[in-house]
Amino acid sequence: MQLNRDFFAQSSWVFFYMNEKLDNIKKLNVSKTLLLDCKQTVNNFPLAYETYGELNKNKDNAILVFHALTGDQFVSGINPVTKKEGWWSTAVGSGKAIDTDKYFVICANVIGGCMGSWGPKEIDKKTNEPYGLSFPVITIRDIVKAQETLLDHLGIKKLLCATGGSMGGMQALQFCASFPNRAFSAIPIACSTSHSAQNIALNELARQAVMADPIWDKGKYLKKNVQPKNGLAVARMVGHISYLSEKGMQEKFGRKLQEKADYEFSFDADFQVESYLRHQGYAFVERFDANSILYITRAMDYFDLSRQFKGGLVEAFKNQQTKFLVISFSSDWLYTTRENKDTVIALNAAGADVSFAEIKTDKGHDSFLVNEPEFLKTVKGFIDSMYIKFKNEKRI
């Protein structure tokens, strides 16, 4: 896909048309006052969410799914805003690994996001304009604290399971550390307890791509009803490279040319991998807000569980009753198996009930989002077994 003005004009229209459709999605007004890590206090803000399946009479079949950086609350089925398939349809749905015929699945759009929750593109009631960069810098802990209020709203005292991949896995770990008695089990997937220097560097590259776009205008672009599309597209391309493995990318693309017999000796997309990345980048600007990328990547960079507790990670997981399954992928270089094993070691040291699975795959970090049979089988087996144990525990 090549740069062209027609595409960008169309994508800008689609993005702001989608914003108008957010009025019809589920939202909770969080009236509880929350103290953010930046020391600001907030209340009466929207938290957009979606549910799948039915909450049973005993309210012991609830699973809270945390989404990753560019995800949203629409986990399965057709996203009513984008009209595309939900981001985790491979795992969540009728008869799937997380079976919505059996379980009640909840997912909220993170604060700082752009699919209806309180974020930088929402209107600040004090100024009647989008927050932009006046929105407070948030953390993963802030995000999780906001989502915990949703459980109170739904009348769920204890989850069957809390799970998510990548940033969603970070949220799962933070949720268990912050609220040790609110989840019977947890499946943090392809994540870590703190961001590595490499991951901070990649996020900074994405942020600088956005901020270098003149349309960004220090976050004021929303007042003009525009998007810094070039910068946001490049930011997405940077991220997408990190989600794939070298082997997987080589096997999928190699040096194949894009619908041509030879090089064109230009800077158009000669190679299939170039065309693929451009498509990923330019499609992304249709559904995401540039300022949200800044805020959410910063929240990921600030994430460091050991820093939150004087006793480090062992203290973070102290007195945990939650049963953990930590999952990594062999070809994931963004959140390596070693980092996931470090989480397991910390949980073991804290005396937590923890098991570990490394899934052998060449699909890289995005393995949890695709049809990876061994991964899906592992998730299903763990959740189903936890459901039996949870029901038995509640009978005692």
The one-letter amino acid code at 132 reads G
Task: List the catalytic residue out of 99, 142, 213, 332.
Answer: 332
Alpha carbon distance 78, 355 (integer Å) = 33
Instruction: Report the alpha-carbon distance of residue 27 to residue 108 in Å, rounded.
Output: 9
166 given a catalytic annotation: yes
CA distance 85 to 74: 9
Please tell me the distance from the alpha carbon of residue 204 to that of residue 295, in angstroms, as a whole number.
Answer: 11
Q: Which amino acid is at 60?
A: D
Residue 332 among the catalytic residues: yes
Concerning whether 365 is annotated as a catalytic residue, the answer is yes
In this structure, the chain runs to a length of: 396
**Given 185, 365, 366, 367, the catalytic residue:** 365
As a three-state string, the secondary structure of the chain is CCCCHHHHHHHHHHHHHHHHHHHHCCEEEECCCEECCCCCEECCEEEEEEEECCCCCCCCCEEEEECCCCCCCCCCCECCCCCCECCCCCCEECCCCEECCCCEEEEECCCCCCCCCCCCCCEECCCCEECHHHCCCCCHHHHHHHHHHHHHHHCCCCEEEEEEECHHHHHHHHHHHHCCCCEEEEEEECCCCECCHHHHHHHHHHHHHHHHCCCCHHHCHHHHCCCCHHHHHHHHHHHHHHHCCHHHHHHHCCCCECCCCCCCCCCCCCEHHHHHHHHHHHHHCCCCCHHHHHHHHHHHHHCEHHHHCCCHHHHHCCCCCCEEEEEEECCCCCCCHHHHHHHHHHHHHCCCEEEEEEECCCCHHHHHHCCCHHHHHHHHHHHHHHHHHHHHHHHC
| Pair of tokens at residue 97 | 């690994």
Catalytic residue among 166, 192, 245, 275: 166
**What amino acid positions are annotated as catalytic residues?**
166, 332, 365
